[in-house]
């Protein structure tokens, strides 16, 4: 076990990353956070979160790739973590990243998107009409529901 000391921004990013780590005992391969090639990644089979490897991990001079088996549910100023060799069958993130041509890009304020999504449970549908018109969030699980969120796009340069 090693104590890491992330700063406030690193703590925020590592906790966000930790949300994409699998907690399913049947998916033990995905229960760690992988550090490799300057990128720190978590994947649970449904989403991938990745960030540049934070300084609090870089300064440990870890052999790469390395898997972080976290001890606590959330990281904070002094967190004990366990490092291990990542499973050989850990997904190759480069293999699953989209490579096709971008159809379109639309920007949205993260706070508004989070607020909109927090009112739903289960699966949702994001419907885009154009890059300059609001997009909608509706429930996929309850198609009869009139619950809907409309989010204004922001300009992407």
- Claim to verify: residue 80 and residue 48 sit in the same structural domain: yes
Q: For residue 122, tell me if it sits in a domain.
A: yes
- Claim to verify: residue 62 and residue 139 sit in the same structural domain: no
The torsion angles phi and psi of 134, rounded to 5 degrees, stand at: -60, 150
Boundary of a domain, candidates 71, 96, 121: 96
User: Which residues, 6 or more positions from 79, have their beta carbon under 8 angstroms from its beta carbon?
Assistant: 3, 4, 6, 70, 71, 72
**What is the per-residue pLDDT for 118?**
92
**What is the per-residue pLDDT for 71?**
56
Is beta strand 66-70 parallel, antiparallel or unpaired with respect to 135-139?
Answer: unpaired
- Claim to verify: residue 15 and residue 79 sit in the same structural domain: yes
Q: For residue 102, tell me if it sits in a domain.
A: no
- Claim to verify: residue 89 and residue 114 sit in the same structural domain: no
Q: Model pTM?
A: 0.78
**What is the per-residue pLDDT for 63?**
84
Q: For residue 105, tell me if it sits in a domain.
A: no
State the alpha helices, DSSP H only, in 52-109: 55-58, 93-96
* Total domains, the chain: 2
**What is the per-residue pLDDT for 76?**
66
The torsion angles phi and psi of 125, rounded to 5 degrees, stand at: -115, 130
- Claim to verify: residue 83 and residue 134 sit in the same structural domain: no
**What is the per-residue pLDDT for 109?**
93
**What is the per-residue pLDDT for 146?**
82
- Claim to verify: residue 9 and residue 86 sit in the same structural domain: yes
Residue 133 CA to residue 117 CA, distance in Å, equals 19
**What is the per-residue pLDDT for 136?**
93
pLDDT tens string, the chain, 157 residues long: the values are: 788 888 889 888 988 988 898 888 888 888 888 998 899 999 998 899 999 999 999 998 888 888 888 656 666 667 778 888 888 888 888 888 888 898 888 999 999 999 999 999 889 999 999 888 999 999 888 777 788 999 999 987 7
Containing structural domain, residue 50? 2-96
């Amino acid at each position: 076990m090693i104590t890491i000391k992330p700063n406030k921004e690193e703590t925020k990013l590592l906790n966000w990353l930790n949300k994409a780590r699998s907690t399913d005992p049947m998916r033990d391969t995905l229960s760690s956070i992988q550090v490799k090639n300057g990128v720190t990644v978590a994947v649970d089979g449904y989403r991938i979160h990745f960030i540049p490897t934070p300084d609090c991990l870089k300064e440990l001079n870890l052999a790469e790739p390395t898997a972080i088996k976290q001890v606590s549910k959330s990281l904070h100023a002094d967190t004990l973590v366990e490092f291990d060799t990542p499973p050989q069958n850990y997904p190759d993130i480069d293999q699953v990243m989209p490579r096709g041509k971008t159809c379109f890009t639309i920007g949205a304020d993260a706070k508004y998107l989070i607020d909109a999504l927090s009112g739903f449970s289960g699966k949702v549908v994001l419907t885009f009409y154009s890059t300059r018109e609001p997009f909608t969030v509706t429930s996929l699980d309850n198609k009869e529901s009139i619950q809907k969120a409309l989010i204004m796009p922001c300009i992407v340069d």
